[in-house]
Structure 1
Amino acid sequence: MSGLVIGQQWWCAAGLIYLLIRVSRLGGVIAPISLLVVVFLSGSWFLWQNSQFDRLSWHEVQPRAVQLRVYPDDIQVSGNQLMVTGTTNERQHIRAFGRLKSATEARHINGIRQVTRWLVQGTNTLMSTARNKNQFDQHKQARLLKRHGQLEMTQWQVIPSKSRWWQLPIDRIHELRKTLLLRFAALPPTLSEYATNLLLGASDATFYEHNPGLQQLGLLHLFSISGMHIVYLVGLCRFLLARCGLTRETSYVLLACLLPAYALIAGGSATLVRAVLIGELGLLQPLISGGRHQLSGQDAWSWSLIGGLFLQPGVLLSLGGQLSYLLAFTLLVVSVETAWWQTWLMNLVGLPVILHAVYQIHLLSTPINLLIIPLFGWVIFPLVILATVTSAWLPGLTNMADMLLHGFSQLITWFGQLPGLITVGKLPLGLTVILLIVTLLLIDERKRRLHWFMLLTLCYGSAFLLLHFPLDGEVSFIDIGQGDSILLRDPFNRHVSLIDTGGRVGFARPAWTKGTEPPARVVTITVNYLHSRGITTLDDVNCSHQDADHIGDVGKLLQLMTVRRLTIPAGMRQSRGFQTKIAPYLKQTQVIELQAGRPVPNFPFTIYHPFTPGPGGNSDSVVLGAERNGCKFLFMGDLDQAGERAIMQQFPSLTVDVLKLGHHGSDTASSSEFIKQVHPQLSVISAGLANHYGHPKQSVLDTLQEQHIPSLNTADVGMISYEYYPWGNSHWHTMLPIRTPQAGSPKPSREPLP
């Protein structure tokens, strides 16, 4: 019901129908009626949650002045970036962003330790759905987190907030958490990161950047407060309370009261809520039953799932929630196995879910887990607790612990760099469910385990071939913001090319804000999409010219993927843009300078510009032509109108089906004469949403309308893809629906080429 109502995953209805049929065949009427009551109650609860979210969410962009009640631990400062999360008087949960003006202001706001009220003014932004295939979906996350809006603050005022009597307990817990966050931040760097993650559940993006091996080796669960951490902490507290002379019953009651408070202190993640609920059941059940009845593991797991869904209705729609409940259930089933076999089976169960969300797996993941988990439980976790608690009295121990943890981090990074990282690609949802079911059957039916293992191997092999040798090809205009990035992929991935990578235009920033830049879009968008298609190697990356919004992220791309060949306009090798953005990251990549009239062997494009070497400015942009499935494309870079006239003179008979307009639709390009000569049936504009340059210009749109040429803009519809098959079928696809099509533009978002 959660997947059906909250996640709108209609296939969940099949599981619900199957469950109803199974229960109806048990005989009697109590079980079917009970199940129907549960379906009705849970469906009503989830529908109410949906209606509340829709009612409270902001659906229009407009200036707003709101008052937020903000817990101190919901204030985050990163360089000159400020982010606060608070609640309005109407019970809306709002996240607000602002820019700080000085390091002094940043320290002052970051040092706030009490609950405050923020009087903020600004304009809200709408949380959009994913604008590219397999991109992070901001709107979906907002629904899961019950976040009703986000605001770009232009002004704010912070005033003290008085707590009412029923707010005092929660307020004091959040104030304690902020005090601990500030104290942990003053610890040596590595110990600070470990203590903040392991004890307070406060993950910093830079932590995973500093420790890439954690994600590559599948060790992120060690740094997400979960069942292992709760069992360890409860066991430690029971030991200490017993040494203080408290009876077992008294210590159980005390721990049952403290666990919910710790859930708030540690961030309240999905994995933590599940572990705390199971911990509460384990502590309270012997007290209630007087020790006469023992709650089974399956019942404890089931009650924790019911409680988790009541508190967080979308918990099973997040990767953390899925893995938490799935692996906890699997542990109950495989508890009779050896520790070695338990680890293998649990990794095998989580693999389909991980590949559906992350696309990669390391062959050393299971062996490293077998090695690291005991070390983590017996050495790392106790060391972090001991060094953190005694940091004020034993600085020598604190520094020694920091050195040991730094060595441990380096060891994990070294393991992560070993060969064995396999990019499988994004498993389709249906195949993910099938693989999960087959894996669970493999675990359950021990006598036929070999048969199920062979079937599972066949399924994974088929999935790998399907993802790495797809039948379809594509020409995709990636929505990279204000910039260009175009992917051309042949069927069966015979040849994969990328034209430009996009990149942010750099501006001078104060020294105290360094290190706060957001991740490059080529990582979160382009590389993420390539990995989801099982692609780790690009045959060629083509740099149109040296502007940052076209090649600013080439260096990052070269670090993350294998690039066999990189092309640039003739003469650009000596430019400052090439020397700073590309040259430092070149390894085995071949660099070729392009010039019209000079063919390049095995190059799947026709070169129409430049005609002479140049420094790599707009007027030197490489213009490439390509034909896919009988459809002719022309990619203009940022070429100006003078360059267009030169192409018309040199290639007077040039016509195309699809024209990628030059310079993002600027009026410095796309002259009426050029558009008329090449006579495209469709024009594509790559521009950023609400960009500061006013692209595309109205004069260019007027030219297109006068010549009855439809246009698609990434700013309006997200990623634009032309998908085709070897037997000739093709269609266009846009990530977002075409809401206000211009005259002559394709009507639906999937339409054959005009």
Structure 2
Amino acid sequence: MILNGSNSKFKRLAGRLMERLFNALGSKPALKIAAPFIIGLMLGNHIEAPPIALFLALIITTMLAVLCLRSRIHIGNFLLALGLITAGMLRFGIATQLMPANHIKYFAGTKEKITILCRVSGYPQIRENGIQVEIQIDSLIIDSSIYPVYGNALLKIINFDHQFHYGDRLKIHSKLRQPDGERNPGGFDYRKFLNSQNIFALVTVLKPTDLILLERTAPSTVAGIFFQIKSSLDQKINSLFDKQQRALIRALLLGERGEISSKLREAFARSGVIHALAISGLHVGYILIILAGVFSILPIPRKIKIVLIIAGLLFYNLLVGFKPPIVRASLMASLFLLGKLLQKPVDILNIISVSALIILLIDPQQLFLASFQLSFAAILSIIFIYQKLKIVFEKSQRFRKLTQSKIGEYTGALFLVSLSAQLGTLPIVVYYFHRIPLIALLANLLVIPIVGLVIAYGFICLIVSLIAAPVAQLFANTAGFLVSTLIVFLRNTGSWWFAAVDVYSVTLTGIVIYYFFLYLSINLDKKSHQKLGILTILVLANIFIWRSNFAQRDWLQITFFDVGQGDACLIQFPNGKNLLIDAGPNLMNFDAGEYFIVPGLKRYGIKKLDAAILSHADNDHIGGLPSVMRKIAVEKIYDAGLYHSTAICSLYQFLIDSLKLNYQKIDQPIRLDEFSRCGVYAIHPRESGLKMLARDVNNNSVVIKIIYNQVSFLFTGDIEKKAETYIQEYRDLLRSDVIKVAHHGSKTSSTKSFIEQVKPELAVISVGKNNRFNFPDATVLSRFENFKIRVLRTDLNGAIILRTDGKTLQRIR
């Protein structure tokens, strides 16, 4: 082994570091409270314990801690930390488990339309295909019975317009839906995101007749008054700027970015400046500069200026609707200013800890949002890394020369701040977005100053417009020019092939290792850290060398993606090869390949598909394949050679040709030789079957049988009774432990004789939630139940993941 007696040294060094850490925490009481509380929230997210039990445990640990602190400090501190961990678990349990019985969370998921009585409680957000606004529901009318309820929902109106005012009382005829969670590997957890904003249901209205205004009153609450102010400013923006400029101005000034096109968002993201679009710490910083500049002119005492700046931040939060990122930044800034006001020593880590505690006490689910993690990671990185980088860079004579002037000094500082933030947030960005923006440092040097100028000129023109409209237009022209410059710049940089690089997978272990080495890197001037770094490298080298001794069993894993009304299956073989069967639909504003399959492949770390099989050419199977083919390398394509005269089929065939993909038509039984150690067979269609079934696309679906030792799977595409009867001549070959149910559980498939032939233990139905076909059919479900076959459905379970070692079958999701 490489290590010889180094483990004891490693432990001693780690022990000394932990001792120093605890000593440092002694001067930071808020951090001592925040750290165990956050650990408790993390445990609460994984362990669902009864709140009453946690409450009793909290009382007991607190009492024991108080008793022990009088005599045995260390045990008392340990118990106190344990109590704070318990408090974190309790707070998370209260937030997620203790909902009133009449909360709308328990009513969401209605299959039929109901009558919803509510009031508008948010600012309308304009989207590409409609408007969405937050509503507070107070009553539901179901089958002529009125149910008083409580909770907020998100109302979406599609393809028609409606003027919403704060406090409007509405009567809506629609379904009350539950937001989707993380339904696929690497997918976005929309439910968690909305829950963090106190929204627990979705209401969609497609016809104006299903939305009735019952009452409109003049605003009398603070929220209503600020709604009116924001609406007036919005109208001013509409009159002062053109459509393209208006979308970005609304995002930067009012935090409303619904009008920004998906292409422009992608350009911001690829250039590494997406943070500029979100109302965040950057914007609060500029608001602080503007407020400080304005109040510095006035001959008023310093303490009053501080109070006015804090009041200005509160005003801005009321204006934009207390969006979480700006609340976080405003809270930190206000605590810092309060320290100055009270003439108390200000410890930045204490301020950050207090801010985190306040936010997480109010809403503990914020901890698990990417925006929360990125905000605090960026701030902490700037605090701990900036000065270290500055020392390193100032050793360079060229850097010192470039930063001699005021502009050079500002540019150098901005560069180092951006670099610090990027180093600190990199693994989080990769984990959530699977991308490293390579030009972010350079892009920020231009984007951040322009954004600051746009915010300044934007607010000036809005204020001046109240007095002199022509003068306001001059400021608006300047802001508009800056916005147009920004758009042109980012569209160009975002299109560069080297602007960003896709990263296919990162584990939590990898994130921990990254931060550990980042910590060591910025402290290499200390000998103890140098030794710890060397020992850590040796330990990791040992793990790498001896990892084969701890190798796990060889698994075959199958992921049935939840793509809505469609099919998509990924098979990961023991030899590391990968096969995709179908890729879901491509509908208006929805591409299953782009939204589900590609992110899922990246989450698994898959850069290449050894083969992709198209069962047949219906949109709900072929739709997502073009996006997959463009973004993931595909070695070989298999299909039955039957296509529709549709744009998506033409694009699919064009990509096979233009990408020079290896293609094979399946018109006879074959074994796919790419996948050793497993038998992968295409058993249908056959040439005789193609002739007999004419151009019946469904019944000519490619049927795949996979055998891994003693466990087998059957993938049936959308075959119906004709094809099921035709392939029953295979007899025992059809027997499989798992069947992907044909045609999404339609009554035209899964005949009694076919099920008897296959004899599966498990049936998986890939089907869309509340689909218009009412799949799966009740008779099909009853048939499986009669045969005592367990049924799993993607509409109810989300993505379904099975794995086998060739002997046993496990469901891991």
> Normalization by structure 1: what TM-score?
0.80
Say if 1:578 and 1:374 are closer, same or farther in 2 by CA, change over 3 A. Answer: closer
Report what 2:348 is aligned to: 297
Give matches, 1:232-251, under 5 Å. 232-251=286-305
* 8 Å contact from structure 1 (residues 575, 616) kept in 2: no
2:398 maps to what in 1? Answer: none
Task: Verify: 1:260 aligned to 2:310, yes or no.
Answer: no
Q: Which moved more, 1:638-647 or 1:449-458?
A: 449-458
Partner of 2:663: 592
Deviation digits for residues 167-198 of structure 1, max 9, x if unmatched?
Answer: 2x322222222333444456334433332222
Aligned to 1:87: 136
Counterparts of 1:216 and 1:602 in 2: how far apart (Å)? 39
377, 386, 398: which one aligns with 2:448:
377
Contact 1:664 1:696 in 2 (8 A): yes
Count the aligned residue pairs: 695
Q: How does 1:39-438 map to 2 (within 5 A)?
A: 48-50=94-96, 53=99, 55=101, 56-60=103-107, 61-62=109-110, 64-71=114-121, 73=123, 75-78=124-127, 81-89=130-138, 92-100=150-158, 102=160, 106=161, 109=162, 111-153=163-205, 155-162=210-217, 167=221, 169-184=222-237, 187-204=241-258, 206-289=260-343, 293-337=344-388, 338=390, 339=413, 343-362=418-437, 364=438, 368-383=439-454, 385-386=456-457, 389-390=460-461, 392-394=472-474, 396-397=477-478, 399-415=480-496, 417-418=497-498, 421-428=501-508, 432-433=511-512, 435-438=514-517
How big is the shift at 1:399?
A: 5.0
Deviations 1:543-562 (A, max 9, x none): 11111111122222233322
Q: CA deviation at 1:433?
A: 4.3
* Residue equivalent to 1:697: 777
Choose the corresponding residue for 1:583, options 653, 656, 659: 653
Q: Which residue of 2 aligns with 1:481?
A: 564
Shift of 1:534: 0.9
| Structure 1 partner of 2:526 | 447
Specify which of 698, 711, 729 is matched with residue 618 of structure 1: 698
Q: C-alpha separation between the residues in 1 aligned to 2:461 and 2:318?
A: 23
Look up the equivalent residue of 2:316 and give its one-letter code.
Y
- Alignment deviations for residues 592-633 of structure 1 (CA, whole Å, 9 cap, x no partner): 242343647745432222223565721221122222344222
In the alignment, the residues of structure 1 paired with residue 421 and residue 807 of structure 2 have an alpha-carbon distance, to the nearest angstrom, of: 42
> In the alignment, which residue of structure 2 is the partner of 1:717?
797
Deviations 1:87-132 (A, max 9, x none): 2458944224454564xxx1xx2x4455422233433223454333
- Contact 2:196-2:365 within 8 A present in 1 as well: yes
Contact 2:744 2:775 in 1 (8 A): yes
- 2:279 is paired with a residue whose SS is coil
State the secondary structure of the residue aligned to 1:9. Answer: helix
Number of the residue aligned with 2:53: none
The structural deviation recorded for 1:78 is 3.3
Q: Counterparts in 2 of 1:509-658, with a 5 A limit? A: 517-572=588-643, 575-576=645-646, 579-586=649-656, 587-590=658-661, 592-597=663-668, 599=670, 602-604=673-675, 605-612=680-687, 615=695, 617-649=697-729, 654-658=734-738
Which consecutive unaligned segments of at least 5 residues does structure 2 have?
1-36, 50-57, 139-147, 391-412, 463-471
Distance 1:357 1:525, change over 3 A: same
CA gap of 1:370–1:158, structure 2 versus 1, over 3 A, is same
Shift of 1:344: 4.3
One-letter code of the match for 2:646? Answer: R
- Between structure 1 and structure 2, the one with the greater Rg is 2
Distance 1:611 1:171, change over 3 A: same
2:735 and 2:759 in contact (8 A); partners too: yes
- Corresponding position of 1:746: none
Secondary structure of 2:659's counterpart equals: coil
Is the alpha carbon distance of 1:297 and 1:11 closer, same or farther for their aligned partners in structure 2, counting shifts above 3 Å? farther
**Structure 1 pair 419–490 and aligned structure 2 pair: CA distance change class (3 A):** farther
Question: SS in structure 2 opposite 1:637?
Answer: coil
Checking the alignment, whether the CA contact within 8 Å between 2:614 and 2:621 is kept in structure 1 is yes
**Structure 1 position 235, deviation (Å):** 1.5
Instruction: Report the 3-state secondary structure (helix = DSSP H, G, I; strand = E; otherwise coil) of the residue aligned with 2:627.
Output: helix
Is residue 520–residue 553 contact of structure 1 (8 Å, CA) maintained in 2?
A: yes
SS at match of 2:44: coil
* CA displacement 1:34-61 (0-9 Å, x = unmatched): 8688678767665554455455343144
Q: Per the alignment, in what secondary structure is the counterpart of residue 58 of structure 1?
A: helix
C-alpha distance 325-554 of structure 1, shift in aligned 2 (>3 A): same
Report the alpha carbon displacement of residue 638 of structure 1 after superposing the two structures with TM: 1.1
1:691-711, CA deviations, whole angstroms, 9 ceiling, x for partnerless residues? 222322233334434444443
Q: Distance in 1 between matches of 2:502 and 2:128?
A: 36
Contact 2:607-2:633 at 8 Å conserved across structures: yes
Tell me if 1:733 matches 2:811. yes
Does the 8 Å contact 1:608/1:625 carry over to 2?
yes
SS at match of 1:715: helix
What's the secondary structure of 1:617's corresponding residue?
Answer: coil
Cα shift at 1:208: 4.8
Q: Contact 1:660 / 1:685 at 8 angstroms: preserved in 2? A: yes
**Alignment CA distance shift 1:470-1:271 (3 Å):** farther
Secondary structure of 2:45 counterpart = coil
Q: Partners in 2 of 1:522 and 1:445 — Cα distance? A: 45
Task: State the one-letter code of the partner of 2:570.
Answer: L
Q: What is the identity, as a one-letter code, of the residue corresponding to 1:610?
A: P
Equivalent residue for 1:752? Answer: none
Relative distance call for 1:314 and 1:619 in structure 2 (3 A) is closer
Provide the rounded CA distance (Å) in 2 between the counterparts of 1:436 and 1:732: 34
- The 3 A distance-change label for structure 1 pair 631 and 113 is same
- Structure 2: how far apart are the matches of 1:275 and 1:244? 26
User: Take 1:349 and 1:397, find their aligned partners in 2: how far apart are those partners?
Assistant: 35
Q: Distance in 2 between matches of 1:264 and 1:540?
A: 54
Q: Distance in 1 between matches of 2:554 and 2:246?
A: 49
Change (3 A) 1:648 1:35: closer
Question: Structure 1's 459 and 212: CA in aligned 2 closer, same or farther, altered over 3 A?
Answer: farther
Where structure 1 has 5 or more consecutive residues not aligned to the other structure, the ranges are: 507-516, 736-754
Q: Distance in 1 between matches of 2:590 and 2:255?
A: 22
Judged with a 3 Å threshold, the aligned counterparts in structure 2 of structure 1 residues 460 and 298 are, in CA distance, closer, same or farther, namely: farther
Q: Which of 479, 484, 499 is 2:581 aligned to?
A: 499
CA gap of 1:687–1:655, structure 2 versus 1, over 3 A, is: same
